[in-house]
Homo-oligomer: A and B are copies of this chain.
Amino acid sequence: MSTGRAPASRAKAPDKRRLILDAAVRVFARQGFHACRVSDIADEAGVAYGLVYHYFASKDEVLDTLFLERWNVMLELIREVDATAVPVRDKLTAIASFIVDSYQHDPDLMKVIIVEVTRAANSFGNTHIATIREAYDLIGGMIVEAQEQGVFKAEIEPRFAAMAFYGAIEQLLTGWIFDLLPQGEDHFERAKWLVVETVCGGLET
């Protein structure tokens, strides 16, 4: 991931826009989108209040940008994986790995996306529902394919299985976010394995 201060070595532009986005991640993760003020973001970024409105039309747009940036990377990954000719189990492993790795790499960002967007059925969740749904549909498509190949049981509703799979992963992240589950390299790896093993184990013929 190319998050962070990418063009620092370049001439002079400190890329204030990026600075604001990164600061927003920290603030949203710490205080929550609703509980924080725009001035908190500006302070965290070490930038004047008004500059946030130079780069973004509204407080909402800051969160929208963060979500879309990240979710599109994931959609791309899923599409790539989908296009390869490997067993479903490997495809699902790749997806689970990507999500867990994303959390490991930037827990704050994943916390914000999950808590403030993905699961916010009012507000942002509804705004981005089509984008979110795309991921579920792609996973659902993989399951359909597996059923056609006779690898997965035919009697399961693929959309339901896709949701259950994704939900299991997201809840593990939630466990880490709420500090209900132990974290660390080792646990992250075992979590990937558990999710895929469990779901595939139950779905395979």
Contact = CB atoms under 8 A, between A and B. Distances in A.
Given A129-B180, A159-B181, A198-B203, 9 more contacts: A32-B121, A129-B178, A156-B198, A160-B187, A160-B191, A161-B198, A166-B171, A167-B170, A201-B204
A151 interface: no
Nearest to A176: B163
B194 A175 contact: no
A164 interface: yes
Interface of A: 31-32, 34-35, 111, 114-115, 119-123, 125-126, 129, 133, 136, 156-157, 159-161, 163-172, 174-175, 177-178, 180-181, 187, 190-191, 194-195, 197-204
A122 B111 CA distance: 10
A90 B98 CA distance: 34
Given A198-B202, A202-B199, A164 B171 contact: yes
10 contacts: A31-B122, A119-B174, A121-B178, A160-B175, A163-B171, A163-B174, A163-B175, A167-B172, A198-B203, A200-B202
Copies in the complex: 2
A20 B198 CA distance: 43
Nearest to A165: B168
A31 B32 CA distance: 18
Contact of A164 (B115, B125, B163, B168): B168
Most buried by B among A111, A129, A167, A172: A167
Contacts of A32: 120-123
Contacts of A168: 163-165, 167-168, 171
Contacts of A31: 122
Nearest to A121: B115
Contacts of A160: 172, 175, 181, 187, 190-191, 194
